Structure 1
Amino acid sequence: MPTLSILPPCDLLIVGGGINGAGIARDAAGRGLRVLLCEQDDLAQHTSSASTKLVHGGLRYLEHYEFGLVRKALQERETLLQLAPHIIRPLRFVMPHDAAQRPAWLIRAGLFFYDHLARRRLLPASASIRLDTHVAGRALKPAFKRAFVYSDGWVDDARLVVLNALDAFEHGARILTQTRCSFAERVDDHWLITLRQRDGSSAQLSARALVNAAGPWAGEFAQLATPNPSRGGLRLIKGSHIVVPKLFEHPFAYLFQNPDQRIIFAIPFQGDFTLIGTTDVDYRGDPATVAIDADEERYLCDMASRYFARPVAPSDVIWRYSGVRPLLDGETGDASTVSRDYRLQCDASPGVAPLLHVWGGKITTYRRLADEALALLQPLLNVAAPAWTATKPLPGGDFDVLGTLSAVPDFSAFLARFQLRYPWLPDSLAERYCRLYGRRAERLIGEAKSMSQLGSELVPGLYEAEAVYLLDNEWATCSADILWRRTKLGLHCLQGDVERLDAWLTLTSEHRISASCEHGDGG
């Protein structure tokens, strides 16, 4: 029978385990607030794992005169490259010039602004190149003679969410996945909250403040929490991506301008693949069931084929994913031009418990959003603590000295030290561990001194030690959590692999429940 429990009160209850919710949880917990974050599914299961996986200023936003957003994003790009150098890394983009689209002088002017709108220390400036002599030109049609190169960053988006949640947890926050906020009522200076878990059990608690970071569900949650809510002017936009076998061997990415004035990216992905996206389509369905349609898939293939010497066909696609972006509605007709900025709406008055709505946003600016959220909430909670997240690495990102921030993080040097310490690890596995977990890879390996001590290989590249680490430390509960959000090993799975992992997870769960009962912890 489902049970009802009473949880300790908290200062801040955050609804939504995407990047904004996890970022706010990390910031608030680090300032000493009692924080609880609830997520109805897995961390980053929806919008925050369905991005193009870039930390970028948004070069195309300059055309819409969003200079403030671009500057803010460029500043954060520099910060994030230092905070998580294992999961965020520099990436050079090649933009072939098509004279029928934008004139060269306009592109040069835009890149000049992009280079200089914010201080840039870690990334090289833009440049003009000849495609007939540059390695990136080999994969393109010979009709393209000239290109521009500029810098941005690549990010493992789902892991960025998990690392923020992990840091929040290590600062005292409670993180509850598979848990939905089913009831929220203001009672004078606090909120009375009911949380419902996937198994039907529920819990009640009180919170001094409530944060609505529910992403594409933010409007729906606003209706639950307040009788006459503002929906924040959200516009739900579907963005879809495809993954194909790699189309080029070099480390550059591409930005392609298309005749409809939209752009798509083609990005090196997981070593053996190329990621192509994204689309921008208005969406009115359930965000939990969003999926790419045939028209979107054809569009991405056609636009990529316009540039690549080797055509891309729907039959080449080995993985596809879609997400719903909750964007600020500027009442523009074209979904691709809707602003990626955010707005924080704080509903508060003396003696009344605050409610903070998070409308819109993008991965690159999540940390700044969280900082601004705390600036609004702290005075209302009679708390004064300094901002701190801009200078403290995310878990695993402290390559050089524990707890400090290197001016120029050197992943290659860290990987070399790691390989010297664990010479028995295959190079590819050592690099993957370092990329995903950074310094925390040492915790994953534990006392193991050989491959056999990492346990059985559950699916290609996944050994028991890593799976156990993810179950124990990163809120993974099922094969999809492990294969698609904590890692991308699902791309390498063959027939029957997922079923074998599911069977191992079931057996492991049964053993844990049995051990818990034997120790008197199972009630």
Structure 2
Amino acid sequence: MNETCDLLVIGGGINGAGIARDAAGRGLKVMLVEKDDLGSHTSSASTKLVHGGLRYLEHYEFRLVAESLREREVLLRNAPHIIWPLRFVMPHEPSMRPKWMLRLGLALYDRIGGRMSLPKSKGIDLRIAPHRGILQDRLKSGFEYSDCWVEDARLVVLTAKDAEEHGAAVQVRTECTALERGRQAWGATLRDESGERTVTARAVVNAAGPFVDQVAKRALGQGTPAHLRLVKGSHIIVSRRFPGGHAYIFQQPDGRIVFAIPYERDFTLIGTTDLLYDGDLDAVWITPEEIAYLCEAASRYFASAVTADEIVSTYSGVRPLYEDNAAKNSTVTRDYVFELDAEGGAPILSVYGGKITTYRKLAEHALEKLGKVFDVPGKTWTAHAHLPGGDMPEGDFAAFLWRASERYAWIPPEMLLRLARAYGTRLDAVIGNADSLDGLGPHMGGNLYEAELRYLVDAEYARAVEDVLWRRSKLGLHLPANAKQAVADWFAAQS
């Protein structure tokens, strides 16, 4: 029997998940398909920030910065378990941007988005704790400002989950291998582990990220009129380089900036690079040159040099940026652009660019654009809708964690913090009826038990060991080899 839907969304990254969620909440019958795991490409390879984009001010992208800062407030309110404030320290490097320029840029950053809940920027003395001895002695002063951290892959999963809870069909490891256009609908061939089937959709959204042109060619026989610039960004993870909950933002001689961010309690995340990419989009890896660049970038500021032998892990992703003919990859716009094709029959909307911070607004604008040729019912609704697990009173994560510690006194504090951050108010669904660690089922290692694995499979689309260890969590950084093997064995036993 042929399946039908109003809207087929191709691509399970943050943009596809956001569009599927918004559309489903408006009453459309939506199907979201992703050829791999949710967020398994660009969306889980970010610097993991919800931010306005301070450096975009230099390129006069005032609208993008203002929208991003407003969205930062929306996301912080709607997902306080996976998004939280982070202070950034920018040392003043006299050989680069002058101090007056930094001060002026930060003053604008504090105001351009309207009324903000986070602390404003201020000047700081780097010769005192916690920076003294961490940064090089030549660095005397700097500035501090606010942005937010986000668990990027979890943001994708929770957005898709909310789409499902509003009626969308979310299908992972399901590839759209062909698209045939009719006057009133598209015929889409979908392939998963059970074989191929055909779905009829009144409209298609091509949110395939770096694969967007491939899908467009599959649908239209040629790429869309927009040009795509594929830019690879890589990160390195090293052991914790500095105490405190702040991050550093380091200016570089090439005009770029590199972040050094506290990561997963025991580590520091350093990134990112900006390189044109024309390789295999399913096998994106850091190069020795990128490793050298990031080590050198951080070593310009830290008192002790960062070396390649300190690296415990790396990750890379390809950003599908809209080609605006900028001279440098770092200055290509991070704004989003839509290409709508409805002249030859049923409509298809292709999405270019975008950033995690603006994904919710991108979804609204995508449906507004599609609504010019396709009946999109309902009104915008996501600005005041919590993501799964985010519905805690007044968005107070600390109070939520305290109540959880009283209810689950038998869970070790470190484990409870990890679970509360990951699942928020869905914590009870993970724990189930257990009243002891033994009640959570077999112990995989570290603070991972079978109950959590079952929840991730049943409720969060996990299908393989890497889905759990590297996207829905970062336990891959913490668990010993035998524990990782135990998780792999568990998945193998489920098939």
TM-score, scaled relative to structure 1: 0.93
The answer to whether residue 387 in structure 2 is matched with residue 394 in structure 1 is yes
**Mapped partners of 1:74, 1:383: distance in 2:** 27
The percent identity for this pair of structures is 52
Aligned to 1:250: 244
Counterpart among 46, 65, 71 of residue 51 in structure 1: 46
Aligned to 2:317: 323
**Mapped partners of 1:273, 1:97: distance in 2:** 25
The answer to whether residue 204 in structure 2 is matched with residue 210 in structure 1 is yes
Aligned to 1:520: none
**Mapped partners of 1:81, 1:496: distance in 2:** 37
Matches within 5 A, 1:271-350: 271-349=265-343
Aligned to 1:428: 414
Q: Answer whether contact 1:222 1:231 (CA < 8 A) is retained.
A: no
Amino acid at match of 2:98: P
Aligned to 2:70: 75
Q: Answer whether contact 2:210 2:230 (CA < 8 A) is retained.
A: yes
Q: Secondary structure at the match of 1:152?
A: strand
Q: Answer whether contact 1:131 1:138 (CA < 8 A) is retained.
A: no
- Equivalent residue pairs, number: 495
The answer to whether residue 429 in structure 2 is matched with residue 449 in structure 1 is no
Aligned to 1:3: none
Aligned to 1:512: none
> Cα distance 1:310–1:231, how it changes in 2: closer, same or farther (>3 A)?
farther
- Structure 1 residue 460: deviation in Å? 1.9
- Structure 1 residue 135: deviation in Å? 1.6
Q: Answer whether contact 2:405 2:416 (CA < 8 A) is retained.
A: yes
Amino acid at match of 1:506: A
- Structure 1 residue 347: deviation in Å? 1.3
The answer to whether residue 348 in structure 2 is matched with residue 362 in structure 1 is no
**Mapped partners of 1:333, 1:379: distance in 2:** 34
> Cα distance 1:148–1:212, how it changes in 2: closer, same or farther (>3 A)?
same
Amino acid at match of 1:445: I
Counterpart among 191, 210, 213 of residue 219 in structure 1: 213
Q: Secondary structure at the match of 1:91?
A: strand
**Mapped partners of 1:294, 1:120: distance in 2:** 44
Amino acid at match of 2:492: T
Matches within 5 A, 1:25-36: 25-36=20-31
Matches within 5 A, 1:123-272: 123-197=118-192, 199=193, 201-272=195-266
Counterpart among 477, 491, 495 of residue 463 in structure 2: 477
Cα offsets for 1:72-91 (capped at 9, x unmatched) = 11111111111100000000
Q: Secondary structure at the match of 1:385?
A: coil
Q: Answer whether contact 1:210 1:354 (CA < 8 A) is retained.
A: yes
Amino acid at match of 2:418: R
Counterpart among 463, 467, 478 of residue 449 in structure 2: 463
Q: Secondary structure at the match of 1:431?
A: helix
**Mapped partners of 2:253, 2:376: distance in 1:** 52
Aligned to 1:439: 425
Amino acid at match of 1:16: G
Amino acid at match of 1:65: Y
Q: Secondary structure at the match of 1:27?
A: helix
Cα offsets for 1:54-101 (capped at 9, x unmatched) = 001110111111111111111111111111000000000000001100
Aligned to 1:16: 11
Counterpart among 397, 403, 409 of residue 411 in structure 1: 397
Q: Answer whether contact 2:225 2:339 (CA < 8 A) is retained.
A: no
Q: Answer whether contact 1:136 1:250 (CA < 8 A) is retained.
A: no
**Mapped partners of 2:263, 2:225: distance in 1:** 36
**Mapped partners of 2:293, 2:303: distance in 1:** 17
Q: Secondary structure at the match of 2:154?
A: helix
The answer to whether residue 106 in structure 2 is matched with residue 120 in structure 1 is no
Cα offsets for 1:214-244 (capped at 9, x unmatched) = 0000011100001343252110000000001
Counterpart among 81, 84, 88 of residue 86 in structure 1: 81
Q: Which runs of 5+ in 2 are unaligned?
A: none
Q: Secondary structure at the match of 2:230?
A: strand
- Structure 1 residue 383: deviation in Å? 3.5
Q: Answer whether contact 1:329 1:338 (CA < 8 A) is retained.
A: yes
**Mapped partners of 2:93, 2:221: distance in 1:** 52
CA RMSD of aligned residues (A): 1.2
Q: Secondary structure at the match of 2:399?
A: helix
- Structure 1 residue 379: deviation in Å? 4.9
Amino acid at match of 2:234: S
Q: Answer whether contact 1:219 1:232 (CA < 8 A) is retained.
A: no
Q: Answer whether contact 2:28 2:377 (CA < 8 A) is retained.
A: no
Cα offsets for 1:122-150 (capped at 9, x unmatched) = 20000000011242344111111101000
Q: Answer whether contact 1:243 1:318 (CA < 8 A) is retained.
A: yes
The answer to whether residue 338 in structure 2 is matched with residue 352 in structure 1 is no
- Structure 1 residue 375: deviation in Å? 1.4
Cα offsets for 1:184-215 (capped at 9, x unmatched) = 11111100111011x26011110000000000
**Mapped partners of 1:287, 1:200: distance in 2:** 24
Aligned to 1:374: 367
Amino acid at match of 1:243: I
**Mapped partners of 1:508, 1:176: distance in 2:** 19
**Mapped partners of 1:450, 1:424: distance in 2:** 6
Q: Secondary structure at the match of 2:382?
A: coil
> Cα distance 1:381–1:502, how it changes in 2: closer, same or farther (>3 A)?
same
Q: Answer whether contact 1:461 1:489 (CA < 8 A) is retained.
A: no
Cα offsets for 1:298-325 (capped at 9, x unmatched) = 1111111111112211000001000000
Q: Answer whether contact 1:219 1:231 (CA < 8 A) is retained.
A: no
Amino acid at match of 1:42: D
The answer to whether residue 476 in structure 2 is matched with residue 490 in structure 1 is yes
Amino acid at match of 2:366: A
**Mapped partners of 1:279, 1:479: distance in 2:** 28
Q: Which runs of 5+ in 1 are unaligned?
A: 1-5, 401-405, 510-523
